[in-house]
Amino acid sequence: LNHDKDIIIVGCGAGGGTAAQFARKTDRKTSITVFEKGKYPQYSKCGLPYAISGRIPNVMDLIEFSEDWFKKSRIDLLLEATVEKIDPAKKIVYARKNNKIIEKSYGSLIICTGAKPSIPPIKNLFIGDKLVDGVFTLRTIDDVESLIPYVKKGRQVVIVGAGLIGMEMADNLHECGMRVTIVEALQNILPNNLDEDMSKTVLEGLPDDISVFTNHLMTSVEHDSGRIKKVIIKNNETGEEKTINADLLIISTGIKPETKLAEDIGCELGVTGRIKVNNKSETSIKNIYAVGDCTEFVDFITKKPVPVGLGSIVVRQGIAAGINAAGGEYSLPQGVLQTATSDFFGMEIGTVGPTPASMRNQRYISGKFQGLSLPEYYPGGKPITIKVFADEKNGKILGAQAVGDKAAQRINTFACAILADMDVETLRKLETAYAPPVAPTLDVVTLVCDIVSMKIKRKRQ
Ligand SMILES: Cc1cc2nc3c(=O)[nH]c(=O)nc-3n(C[C@H](O)[C@H](O)[C@H](O)COP(=O)(O)OP(=O)(O)OC[C@H]3O[C@@H](n4cnc5c(N)ncnc54)[C@H](O)[C@@H]3O)c2cc1C
């Protein structure tokens, strides 16, 4: 039998599921097999926080493509089947299901093994190899199901890590009536997304009953008969320690890529410790692709490798891998824009471009504008703050951050401008749609570019 065209996909998260879907669209006939070690077919991890508060009523609603969908698409989905070994010379995958080894040949292989939560070194966090009762990470449907019984009005939750997921969890657990404390080791909340001043705007918008400790490290936890009771945090500057009661502890401090299978077969890993891929999602081994949180790609602006960790990027990589593995042609742009958004406590935020930390090495000019989403005379206008970064020499837009009304839509305009290599001088003249109940004559998107453009001109004089 000739297996040259057969496609095997390892992992059925956003990456694997999308790759399968697009491989099938590209080749209606070829054999496609997906091995997934978990119990569920592709579901949205991004929706998990909202299934805790009940905004999404049933966690199973997050399943985007059911087993039936895979069947109808003639994709063999094997759940609770773990790929244990790949032989790239013979082009065979070995998976374990129900304690039996399944051997399957491939023509193209797509590795989409994702990541698991990364857990910082906090003392007493584990009993044996299990997290103390009442301590959770959030990555799977099972996590949500085991966490929900701990969510009770009036109870105290501590969230360690003030990234997007930590903030979304804070919002959803606050909505459930829990008393929320957020602990962040760095100087600001959302340190990977926002500059200090923009992060402060978010901090000021949080409800008064949320306690936030930035620049604090969680050092240890205390438990009573195995159940979490307290956490101990330490001020990074003064060394002062503080004890906080906790009925529930959520750890949202990033992810650790699952790269073992790829490493075992000699797939090249990059500087971030993830599988190196190009804009076709190809790895260093012919006919082997990789997609998702287990990979790194380059940033569109800095051209430096960055870890992939956003569903928006993962899905696009999945499209590329699926089409290319099935014999089509598909290339992504030469780098990721890292366009991201979220909404918590009624505040929408949006970002695009390199992270604030990597921006520090770039010679840029930034400008900020605070305005309203509607003309001043029209009731109901909401505040919106936008910060834009442009190259000091040529005014090319490098990135933008927004907090407030329709932040994501506005950031998408900047994403489009970056992809098109646009400068602030061009974007400031963008003719945006205007009608009093919808938007002002000059949108904040253009007004903030006016500021940056003027600053650049002044610098040149
Ligand atoms: C709570 C939360 C909220 C998020 N919110 C957003 C958001 O709002 N916007 C955004 O852009 N991104 C968001 N993300 C990130 C986004 O969800 C991830 O980038 C994306 O889901 C990663 O998809 P993936 O397929 O790479 O990995 P995963 O979803 O981790 O899938 C990998 C799959 O591979 C399986 N697997 C691993 N090893 C094997 C093996 N050996 N054999 C068989 N199967 C295997 C695993 O069981 C898993 O199902 C969020 C993430 C989380 C956790």
Residue 279 has pLDDT above 80, yes or no: yes
d(CA 78, CA 243): 47
| Residue 274 beta carbon below 6 angstroms from any ligand 1 atom | no
**What's the chain's Rg over C-alpha atoms?**
24
Q: Ligand 1, atom 16: nearest CA belongs to which residue?
A: 311
Q: What pLDDT score was predicted for residue 359?
A: 79
- Is residue 171 in contact with ligand 1, taking CB distance under 6 Å? no
Does 407 contact ligand 1 (Cβ within 6 A)? no
Terminal alpha carbon distance of the chain: 72
Q: How far is the CA of 141 from the centre of ligand 1 (A)?
A: 11
Helix or strand (DSSP H, E) at 49? helix 48-53
Is the predicted pLDDT of residue 361 greater than 90, yes or no?
no
Q: Which SS3 state, helix, strand or coil, does residue 41 take?
A: coil
Atom 53 in ligand 1: which residue has the minimum CA distance?
A: 139
Task: Report d(CA 415, CA 450) in Å as an integer.
Answer: 18
- Work out which ligand 1 atom sits closest to the CA atom of 84: 41
- Residue 389, judged by CB atoms within 10 A of its CB (0-12, 13-18, 19+), counts as buried
> How many angstroms does the Cα of residue 244 sit away from the middle of ligand 1?
31
Percentage of the chain modeled with pLDDT above 90: 97
CB of 139 sitting under 6 A from ligand 1: yes
- Dist. CA 261–CA 281, nearest whole Å: 17
Can you say whether the dihedral through the CA atoms of 261, 264, 267, 271 is positive or negative? Answer: positive
Average pLDDT, the chain: 97
Ligand 1 centre and the CA of 314: distance in Å?
9
Answer whether 36 contacts ligand 1 (Cβ < 6 A).
yes
Three-state DSSP state, 116: strand
Tell me the mean pLDDT in the region 288-301: 98
218-273: per-residue pLDDT in tens? 999 999 999 999 999 999 999 999 999 999 999 999 999 999 999 999 999 999 99
Evaluate: CB of 416 within 6 angstroms of ligand 1: no
What pLDDT does residue 356 have? 75
Q: From the CA of 114, how far away is ligand 1's center (Å)?
A: 5
pLDDT above 90 for 358? no
Task: Tell whether the model's pLDDT for residue 327 goes beyond 90.
Answer: yes
With contact defined as beta carbons under 8 Å apart, do 244 and 230 qualify? yes
Tell me, using a 6 A CB cutoff, whether residue 34 lines ligand 1. no
What is the number of the ligand 1 atom nearest to the C-alpha of 140?
A: 53
Q: What is the pLDDT, as a whole number, of residue 1?
A: 72
**Which ligand 1 atom sits closest to the C-alpha of 255?**
53
Cα separations (Å) of 297 from 108, 186, 312? 20, 25, 14
Cβ atoms within 10 Å of 299's Cβ, excluding its own: 18
Nearest CA residue ID for atom 46, ligand 1: 11
Contact 400, 351 (CB under 8 A): yes
Q: Is the model's pLDDT at 172 over the cut of 80? A: yes
pLDDT at 116: 97
Query: How many angstroms is it from 369 CA to the middle of ligand 1?
Result: 35
Which ligand 1 atom minimizes the distance to the CA of 261? Answer: 41
Is residue 412 over pLDDT 90? yes
Return all residues near 448 (Cβ < 8 A) that are at least 6 apart: 367, 368, 369, 386, 387, 388, 400
Task: Please tell me if the CB atom of residue 277 comes closer than 6 angstroms to any atom of ligand 1.
Answer: no
Q: pLDDT confidence of 132, banded at 50, 70, 90?
A: very high
Give 304-320 pLDDT, tens digit per residue. 999 999 999 999 999 99
Q: What mean pLDDT is predicted for residues 203-216? A: 97
Q: Which of 113, 165, 256 has the most ligand 1 atoms within 8 A of CB, as the residue to mutate? A: 113
Q: According to the model, what pLDDT value does residue 266 have?
A: 97
How high is the pLDDT of residue 202?
Answer: 97
Q: Which of 293, 343, 351, 352 to mutate to test the pocket of ligand 1 (most atoms within 8 A of CB)?
A: 293
Rounded to the nearest 10 degrees, what angle do helices 311-325 and 14-26 cross at?
Answer: 30
**What is the Å distance from ligand 1's center to 293 Cα?**
7
Ligand 1 near 115 CB (within 6 A) = yes
Share of the chain above pLDDT 70, in %: 100
Q: Name the one residue in this structure whose structure tokens are 């899905």.
A: 315
- Which residues are within 8 A (CB) of 435 and not within 5 positions of it... i.e. 6 or more apart? none
**Cβ pair 275, 288 in contact under 8 A:** no
Ligand 1 center to 115 CA (angstroms): 6
CA-nearest of 184, 212, 198 to 356 is: 198
Going from the Cα of 57 to the center of ligand 1, the distance in angstroms, rounded, reads: 21
Write out pLDDT tens, residues 362-374.
Answer: 789 999 999 999 9
What residues are paired with 33 via a beta bridge? 8, 76
Report, as an integer, the average pLDDT of 321-325: 98
pLDDT given for residue 457 in this prediction: 93
User: Which pLDDT does position 184 carry in this prediction?
Assistant: 98
Of 52-56, 202-206, 344-348, 353-357, the one with minimum mean pLDDT is 353-357
Atom of ligand 1 nearest to the CA of 169: 1
310 lines ligand 1 (CB under 6 A): yes
- In tens, the pLDDT along 77-124 reads 999 999 999 999 999 999 999 999 999 999 999 999 999 999 999 999
Q: Tell me the DSSP string of 224-283.
A: ETTEEEEEEEEETTT--EEEEE-SEEEE---EEE--HHHHHTTPPB-TTSSEE--TT-B-
CA of 116 to the centre of ligand 1 (A): 8
Q: Is the CB of 43 under 6 A from ligand 1?
A: no
DSSP 8-state code for residue 331: -
For ligand 1, say whether the CB of 293 is within 6 Å of any of its atoms: yes
Nearest Cα neighbor of 159 from 256, 62, 228, 60 is 228
Determine if ligand 1 sits within 6 Å of the CB of residue 367.
no
- Specify the pLDDT at position 192: 93
Residues that are catalytic: 46
Residue nearest to atom 3 of ligand 1 (CA): 46
